[in-house]
Structure 1
Amino acid sequence: MSWLLVIAAGLVEVVWSQSIKPTDGFTRPGPTALCVLIGALSVYLLSRAMRDLPAGLAYAMFTGIGTIGAIALGAALRHEPLGPGRAAALALILCGLVLARLTAAE
C-alpha cells in the first residue's frame, strides 16, 4: 500500500506543478488556493507513504515521478522543448526509479 501512496503522491505532484503557472506569481486568489490545496494533498500522501518506507527512498520516488511528469506534461501541453539530452535525462531518472523500487526491502 505504501508504494501505491508514493506513486499517488508523485502523480498529484505532477498536477500541482502544472497548477503553479495559473497563479500568476500567487497573485490570483482562486488558482493560488487550488495550488496550495493540491500541494498539501501531495505532501499528505507522501507522509502516509513514509510510515512504511524510508524517508529518503519515498522522497526520491516522489520527486522523480514529479520531475518526469512535469517535464512530459510541459512538453505535451505547453510545447516546452524536449530535446534528445532532456529525453535521455528523463530515461535515466526512470531507470533510477525502477532500480530503487526493485532493490528496496520493505
Structure 2
Amino acid sequence: MGDRVSAHREEADKPHYYLRGSCQVDKLLKLRAELNADSPVKISVNDLIIKAAARVHILVPAANVIWTPTAIRSFTTADISVAIATDSGLVVPVLRSVEGMPSPLWLPVSRTS
C-alpha cells in the first residue's frame, strides 16, 4: 500500500493526463476475421490496437513525445509497452519500432509468459 501512495505522489509532480473513450469496433472485428482467415498465426484485437497506436504515433508526431524537466522530447519511432498477466505476475515488454513490424512479428514477444 505504501508503494502505491508513494507512486501516486511522484505522479502528481509530473505532467500527466488521462484519456477515456469508447469505440465502434465492428470494422476492426471484420478486418481481424479476414486477416485470420488467411494467416497461420491468429491475430487478436489487442494486436491490431498495438499496430494502430504505433501508426498514430508516427502520423501525429506531437503525440509521440515525453516531458522531461527541461524540454519535450520527440521520437521518430513508436515503442509500445504491453502489459501481460502471467501466473508469476505482470510482465511489461517494450516492443521497439512497432510501426515498421508486420503484425505477426511482434506476436511472440507480446504473448511471452
What TM-score range do you get, normalising by the shorter chain?
0.3 to 0.5
Compare the two structures and name the one with the higher strand fraction: 2
Q: Which has the higher helix share?
A: 1
Whose RCO is larger (CA < 8 A, sep 6+)?
1
TM normalised by structure 2 equals: 0.36
